[in-house]
Structure 1
Amino acid sequence: MPSYRNTAVRGAIVTGGGTVAKAVLQVLAIVVLARMLKPEDFGVMAMVFPIIAFASIFQQAGLGMAVLQRESVSNEELSTIFWTNVAIGVLVGALLVAVSPLVAAFYNEPRVRGLTAASGALMIVGALTSQHIILLMRKMEYGRLALVDLLSLAIGTALAILTAYLFHSYWAIFLLSFGTTASMCLLAWALGGWRPGRVAPLGRVKDVLFFGGNITASNLATYFGQNLDKILIGRWIGAVALGYYERAYKVVLLPTLFVHMPLFRLLVPMLSQSRSEPERHRRLFILGYQLSLFITVPGTLLLAFAAPQIVVFVLGSQWLSAAPIFSWLAIASLGQLVIGPLNMIFVSQGRSREAMLSSVVSSLYTSVAFVIGLKWGAVGVAAAFAISELVRSPAMLWYTTRTGPVSLREASLALAPFLLATGICGAGLVWLQSAFDTPGTLPFLVAAGTAAYAVTLLCMLVNESSRTFVREGISILRDFLSAGRLRIIGGQPT
């Protein structure tokens, strides 16, 4: 697979570099805003985030994923899909303005009304942006994607920090999202090169609409599994508890945002185009799966077993009450790190109906766990979430791999070293904490993080599947070091 490998290597380098820079900006925003604003401010905004997430499901309508997995699409068909998406975005934005008083009444929090109404603008701007981003992904323009992501996040972060410094208001958190989305829209149009033109009849894109409908139903089901916890805490416990929960959730979510999403962008186009070559498809997925686990699992283990130290060091001592929530959510994240990349299989193989069914069942299951845990407050919700994810992961692994080129045995062999590393690292981190008398110190975090990644790397020598990944990684590194310069804008082989 030389051409795919060259594209993948260059895409991974560009995407990885952009991801690291984005992670730095995101951590900067988390750290600075946590010191400028109160937990209650984050709680108020966290009441609105589920509303935004719910509206975004219909604004996107799954059309982007449908375009991404389609083998060919004409400019007229793209224009039809684009204007359909924009019309839906305008409608959803108007509905957010209309329901904003009802949302404020539900939470009994008047500050939520203005935030919900303002979120309508996010829907319209997002609708104008999504297809340009998808087309950059489809053309594997990884350099331009990285540039758009990085600059837009930098603008949004600067706007949020400036607002927090001047006004100490929860509106700073909203402007982080709006500033990033609006900047992404302008940059995607400027760098994407595509413009809508004459439209095609809807009949020519009915397969896209059908696929998008299944993806929308799947996302709608997933929504409740990802947001019901925040809705329950905000409605029945309050803004302060939700503020603690939301910050913990945001930090724990970083691996998904900065590893799974870039990996999805990188691999899904290649996986979709290799459907007729089962061996290539299988190897691409297994290598990407192991890469995502290697990057994310050790750091997540650190969050799970050393939450007090990380909370004090990163957010400050005023957030120490959130440490138990951090620990439980990090454990839940371990389950999500296992099953998150599996979505690439559903999308790249065109299995949208199966994705929808699995999302519906998973969402109902997780929602029940949230309700059960609510009795014990925000910590109880996080604990119930963690336990449910650890039980759900094996079932999802089986369901996703029961058909297609990637078998359950191959996926399990790829996962095995990380399960071994989890047990060893968990025990080691508990012991390492006792060796450091001062919690939250930089030496402890450096020592613990280094040890976690070193143990994980050693565990990857236990079977041939993971040893193949290590050899491939060394080979790719050698190719990169000897390749000379890389053309960043465009992301194609020079």
Structure 2
Amino acid sequence: MRNPSPDRNSQSAPETGYRRKAVGGTIVTGVGAVSRAFLQVLAIVLLARLLTPDDFGVMGMVFPIVAFAGIFQEAGLNLAVVQRGQISDEELSTVFWINTALGVTLCLLLIAAAPFVAAFYGEPRVAALTAASGTLVLLGALAAQHSALLNRAMHFGRLALIDGLSLLAGTALAIAAAFYYRTYWAIFLLNFGTSVAYCLLSWTFSGWRPGKRASLRQVSDILGFGAHFTLGTVATYFGRNLDKVLIGRFWGTTALGYYERAYKVVLMPILFVHNPLMRVALPMLSQTRGDPGRYRRIFMLSFQLSLLLTVPGIVLLASAAAQVVDLVMGPQWIVGAPVFAWLAVACLGQLATGPLTMLFVSQDRAREAMISSVVTSIYSSVAFVIGLPWGATGVAMAYAFSELIRTPVMLWYASRSGPVSFADTGRAILPFVAATPLCFLAVTHLAWLTDGRASPLVFTLISSVAVYLLAIPCLLLNQAGRQCLGEMVSIGRSVALRTRAAA
């Protein structure tokens, strides 16, 4: 008879290895995310008090242009490097020089396009900002493969340190410029200082240097993967930036300033929770796609953990936007509270669909990702145009309704194939679908009870505790939620043991 022991041992060893990597990656990535979130909030709070909505609107006109150029600075090649099974040093060098050539070209194009961008908006201040922003694209291209190599090797500690130090440099530079000069250039310097530091630190910590190049034929699969994701990202760009272009063009800098700041605030959960978790989970998913059970467990845990960390907070912003905006940005921004609230509702849908990118990338489904991005972009663009006559608030409201309709369709499309099924995603989000109205009712009831008597700080703290205390028990509603709680408790114990051992 077959001895089952070796099979169990062979299965448990990789499982233990991945759990150890997950725990270590979660610890360092979590610490890094918290530090970056603190710096980001600090920048939002101080810059909002030192600058005006008009200042943010001027820079907000440039951001879509830079974001479009930024799509091509990496051309999807960084994701291709992370998910590829094996890659040689010569192939990496070829990809690096392709990225560099793209970065130089895009930098020059932004300089040439600067006067035309200013003419489009009818805002002369935009010209110099657009030209200067070419450096951001070039710096991003130079750092792309070095950061991809660190991610591929699961050097999460180094990546967290790079992220934290670079954002610290950019934040310090921006706050100093805003304090002494009260200029919209401070917002540019936040991005410039961060990009310079990120590029230098990525080169330093990765230790890799480009060398002899391989032929383009040897990297044709990488270029093909990158091309599909680039096309998809181009489509996503229009779905995420056309709203800002339209508001800036037809409603001016002040309206765009409110919208742009609201967008940045509601984007924080994606930047500081989803993206770090994806950084930890994506290499593991790519390496375990041949083991459906383990693949499913890794995805479900990262998916539900991201929802648990983000959904209650976004519901709080949607239901008490005025109090949160007053606390974070100051009373002069309260007039934009409806924009914050509706964009928070839109973000609820994105919190459910954002992690699905891991399925497309890890399963090498670049073409399907491109199709979903194109369809989503067209769909969102129609919503923006419908809401535009009612200003920034109308655009945000139309966007919110469109995202809530899109979410279940996207969940179905992403899970049509692979180890994670549509039923799996449904079971994962069910506890949060139940928690959302409970959290909304709790916050609105607290607002009614206090009737404006509580300070924004006290109200926000009490509401934050309430929404998370309501959300966590909702995980007990089904088996997927209970498994998630069990995994989180297990990881928490591992973190405690590691901390105790280190002490």
Q: Which bracket does the TM-score occupy, shorter chain normalised?
A: over 0.9
Q: Give the one of 208, 211, 216 matched to 1:194.
A: 208
Match of 1:449?
Answer: 464
* Bigger relative contact order, structure 1 or 2 (CA pairs below 8 A, ≥6 apart): 1
Q: Give the one of 97, 111, 114 matched to 1:97.
A: 111
Determine the C-alpha separation between the residues in 1 that align with 2:57 and 2:377.
23
Determine the C-alpha separation between the residues in 2 that align with 1:440 and 1:333.
26
Determine the C-alpha separation between the residues in 2 that align with 1:29 and 1:95.
30
Matched, 1:84 2:113: no
Match of 2:259?
Answer: 245
CA contact (8 A) 1:18 1:150 kept: yes
Determine the C-alpha separation between the residues in 1 that align with 2:132 and 2:396.
30
Matched, 1:292 2:336: no
Matched, 1:474 2:489: yes
Shift in Å at residue 153 of structure 1? 0.2
Determine the C-alpha separation between the residues in 1 that align with 2:73 and 2:337.
35
Matched, 1:36 2:60: no
Determine the C-alpha separation between the residues in 2 that align with 1:71 and 1:440.
54
Deviation per residue, 1:219-276 (Å, 9 max, x gap): 0000011000000000000000000111111111100000111011111100000011
Q: What does residue range 124-143 of structure 1 map to in structure 2 within 5 Å? A: 124-143=138-157
Match of 2:60?
Answer: 46
Determine the C-alpha separation between the residues in 1 that align with 2:501 and 2:160.
14
Deviation per residue, 1:201-230 (Å, 9 max, x gap): 110000000000001000000001100000
Deviation per residue, 1:162-188 (Å, 9 max, x gap): 000111000000000010011000111
Q: What does residue range 23-422 of structure 1 map to in structure 2 within 5 Å? A: 23-422=37-436
Three-state SS of the structure 1 residue aligned to 2:418 is coil
Match of 1:492?
Answer: none
Deviation per residue, 1:49-102 (Å, 9 max, x gap): 000000011111111011111001000000000001000110011000001110
Three-state SS of the structure 2 residue aligned to 1:78 is helix
Determine the C-alpha separation between the residues in 1 that align with 2:136 and 2:461.
39
Shift in Å at residue 423 of structure 1? 1.2
Q: Give the one of 14, 17, 27 matched to 1:13.
A: 27
CA contact (8 A) 1:152 1:184 kept: yes
Determine the C-alpha separation between the residues in 2 that align with 1:112 and 1:199.
39
Deviation per residue, 1:397-428 (Å, 9 max, x gap): 00000110000111100100000000111111
What stretches of structure 2 of length at least 5 have no aligned partner? 1-14
- Stretch of structure 1 that moved more, 427-436 or 113-122: 427-436
Deviation per residue, 1:140-171 (Å, 9 max, x gap): 00000000000000000000000001110000
**CA distance 1:484–1:235, shift in 2 (3 Å):** closer
Shift in Å at residue 441 of structure 1? 2.4
CA contact (8 A) 1:10 1:486 kept: no
Shift in Å at residue 486 of structure 1? 7.9
Match of 2:7?
Answer: none
Three-state SS of the structure 1 residue aligned to 2:476 is coil
Determine the C-alpha separation between the residues in 1 that align with 2:449 and 2:293.
48
Match of 2:475?
Answer: 460
Deviation per residue, 1:416-451 (Å, 9 max, x gap): 000000011111111110111336522211111101
Determine the C-alpha separation between the residues in 1 that align with 2:324 and 2:221.
48
Match of 2:10?
Answer: none
Three-state SS of the structure 2 residue aligned to 1:253 is helix
CA contact (8 A) 1:42 1:173 kept: yes
Match of 1:483?
Answer: 498
Determine the C-alpha separation between the residues in 2 that align with 1:417 and 1:22.
28
- Number of matched residues? 487
Deviation per residue, 1:87-120 (Å, 9 max, x gap): 0110011000001110000000000000000011
Partner letter of residue 466 of structure 1? Answer: G
Determine the C-alpha separation between the residues in 2 that align with 1:155 and 1:61.
27
CA contact (8 A) 1:79 1:197 kept: yes
Determine the C-alpha separation between the residues in 2 that align with 1:479 and 1:255.
25
Partner letter of residue 458 of structure 2? Answer: P
Three-state SS of the structure 2 residue aligned to 1:420 is helix
Three-state SS of the structure 2 residue aligned to 1:103 is helix
**CA distance 1:366–1:127, shift in 2 (3 Å):** same
Shift in Å at residue 480 of structure 1? 1.8
Determine the C-alpha separation between the residues in 1 that align with 2:453 and 2:148.
47
CA contact (8 A) 1:308 1:439 kept: no
Determine the C-alpha separation between the residues in 1 that align with 2:363 and 2:445.
44
CA contact (8 A) 1:42 1:243 kept: yes
Q: TM-score, normalised by structure 2?
A: 0.96
